[in-house]
Amino acid sequence: MSFHITSSGKKLVTLIPGDGIGPEVIQSARRIIEATGAAIEWDEREAGARVFKRGLPSGVPQDTIESIRKTRVVLKGPLETPVGYGEKSANVTLRKLFETYGNIRPVREMPGVPTPYNGRGIDLVVVRENIEDLYAGIEYMQTPGVAEGLKLISRKGCEKIVRLAFEFARSEGRRRVHCATKSNIMKLTEGMLKRTFEEISKEYPDIEASHIIIDNCAHQLVKKPEQFEVIVTTNMNGDIISDLSSALVGGLGFAPSANIGNEVAIFEAVHGSAPKYAGKNVINPTAVILSAVMMLRHLGEFEAADQIENAVLVTLEEGRVRTGDVVGYDQGTSTTTYTDMIISNLGHKSARWRVRQHRPLQLPRVSSRPDLLTPKKRRVVGVDVFLESPQDPEQLGPAFEKIASETPFRLKLISNRGTKVYPAMGAITDCVDHWRCRFVSDRGEQSVSDEQVLNLLQRISAHYTWVHVEKLLEIDGALGFTKDQGED
């Protein structure tokens, strides 16, 4: 990744103060960075609530986008997504606009921060895929009472996040990476991350690679968190377990993060804008300060980064200043006083609490081709037709068998929310008005044509309301679709 160097020889960073408490915590981080003498220059821009209120639905103005395209590095405060105006989250918009596909969230026990886990040596990193999964936000109302969300997982997205996890482990001298998925249930989507992880892990023989089911991972994080070093996972799983993990070490006030892409990196705290505390000078800026430390390392400013991290550790270890989230807001140290103390501790090191040795992170390079995988053979073996109907399976089944008899298809089954209900199995299923009818070809090895699918849909639409269609693929001899509960 290339950085913009100013005429004064400094690295230019886009600075977005953000909403609520954002300007206060960003100012804290900025003061500390400037106190180190790091070669950083700021290009301050807007995003979030004030932009939404001006009528821009994305919350991200064009001049902010142009600044990020120029600097390639962002330090930002939390952004509010107001209720009643605006559209998508401005945070998510920024991540997607610049393909920051990896969200890195370090979780480390901090001195002077009381938790039930003190002394356990928690020091782990959650590496969360940041673009795909259910967070693609592709949703539809299939019937008035049934909503659909598409969970999209790509091989390219999996490969990028897996390689990033291993490279990040190497950059920090870590020796173990866990891949956490729900692939025992979602065998194609979550399973793709598991299969990609197992394949790519062979290229990193110096790092121990293990797969763990995500619910067991959450269980183990509470039971024995010190066993983890790096956890790589899908978007929604990562969102959940990274917040869980931050609670183990004192909460979101100590939770930094980096959104990493091959072209742009955005550094921010995990916490939100906390408007009830805005302007009161009481908020804990540690999460943003540590996010700035990650940014400095990304920029190659390792000495300044180590200075700041050591100063934070010394300040917390001394215990003379504690913010309100630790001791209560009625007696906590002000944001500015806490910042002043960190600045006074620059150049000091703790005898007990150590800063990891870091080396430059090697960003993964994956082919930019959209069709990353090219199978040798593929064919359409059938089609799933989703439809809306108040009828019951005993009425629908014979009707669709008759419709299929006039086509190259046969009705294999009807399911309701993933459970086979026709032909009847004797099960007790509380059905809704959303049915999946699976039609398979009776033409042997010949692939189903689009014309045949359209003909089937025309025949169905003469009597029923279909709402969604999925082709059933066979790719290199393997089925490209899952079976229903109860399907042979």
CATH fold of 102-249, please?
Answer: Isopropylmalate Dehydrogenase (3.40.718)
pLDDT at 403: 96
Q: Which residues pair with 123 in a beta bridge?
A: 108
Task: Quote the pTM value.
Answer: 0.93
123-138 confidence digits (pLDDT tens): 999 999 999 999 888 9
Please say if 135 is a catalytic residue. yes
Residue type, 181: T
Half-sphere exposure of 285 (CA within 13 A, CB side): 37
Active-site pick, 53, 70, 215, 442: 215
Active-site pick, 101, 135, 338, 464: 135
Domains of the chain by residue range: 1-99+261-356, 102-249, 378-479
Active-site pick, 11, 76, 156, 182: 182
Q: Which CATH superfamily is domain 1-99+261-356 in?
A: Isopropylmalate Dehydrogenase (3.40.718.10)
* Phi, psi angles (nearest 5°) of residue 75: -115, 120
Residue 56 CA to residue 79 CA, distance in Å, equals 14
Please determine whether the domains at 1-99+261-356 and 102-249 fall in the same fold group of CATH. yes
pLDDT at 87: 62
Q: Could you identify the residue written with the tokens 């809306």?
A: 388
Least Cα distance to 38 among 295, 341, 415 occurs for: 295
Assign 95 to helix, strand or coil.
helix
Yes or no: say if 430 and 145 are a contact pair by the CB < 8 Å rule.
no
C-alpha torsion sign, points 34, 37, 43, 48? negative
Yes or no: say if 156 and 102 are a contact pair by the CB < 8 Å rule.
no
- Burial label, 196 (beta-carbon count in 10 A; 0-12, 13-18, 19+): buried
Residue 89 CA to residue 81 CA, distance in Å, equals 5
Least Cα distance to 180 among 140, 222, 219 occurs for: 219
230-264 confidence digits (pLDDT tens): 999 999 999 999 999 999 999 999 999 999 999 99
Give me Rg for the CA atoms of the chain: 26
Spatial neighbors of 191 by CB under 8 A, at least 6 apart, are 181, 183
Residue 47 CA to residue 75 CA, distance in Å, equals 12
pLDDT at 84: 58
Instruction: Spell out the per-residue pLDDT of the chain, length 488, in tens.
Output: 789 999 999 999 999 999 999 999 999 999 999 999 999 999 999 999 889 888 888 899 999 999 999 999 999 999 987 665 556 788 888 888 899 999 999 999 999 999 999 999 999 999 999 999 998 889 999 999 999 999 999 999 999 999 999 999 999 999 999 999 999 999 999 999 999 999 999 999 999 999 999 999 999 999 999 999 999 999 999 999 999 999 999 999 999 999 999 999 999 999 999 999 999 999 999 999 999 999 999 999 999 999 999 999 999 999 999 998 888 888 889 999 999 999 999 999 999 999 999 999 999 889 888 988 889 999 999 999 999 999 999 999 999 999 999 899 999 999 999 999 999 888 788 999 999 999 999 877 889 999 999 999 999 999 999 999 999 999 999 999 998 877 87
Q: In what order do the strands lie in the sheet with 123-129?
A: 40-44, 11-16, 73-76, 265-269, 256-260, 102-108, 123-129, 230-233, 176-181, 208-213
CATH code: domain 378-479 is: 3.30.70.1570
Give me the count of residues in the chain. Answer: 488
Q: Structure tokens of 129?
A: 């895929």
Q: Structure tokens of 187?
A: 């065998």
Q: What is the DSSP string of 198-252?
A: HHHGGG-TTSEEEEEEHHHHHHHHHH-GGG-SEEEE-HHHHHHHHHHHHHTTT-G
pLDDT at 442: 82
The whole-angstrom distance between residue 310's C-alpha and the CA centroid of its chain comes to 29
pLDDT at 83: 63
Q: Which residues pair with 438 in a beta bridge?
A: 384, 413
Yes or no: say if 170 and 127 are a contact pair by the CB < 8 Å rule.
no
Active-site pick, 239, 306, 325, 384: 239
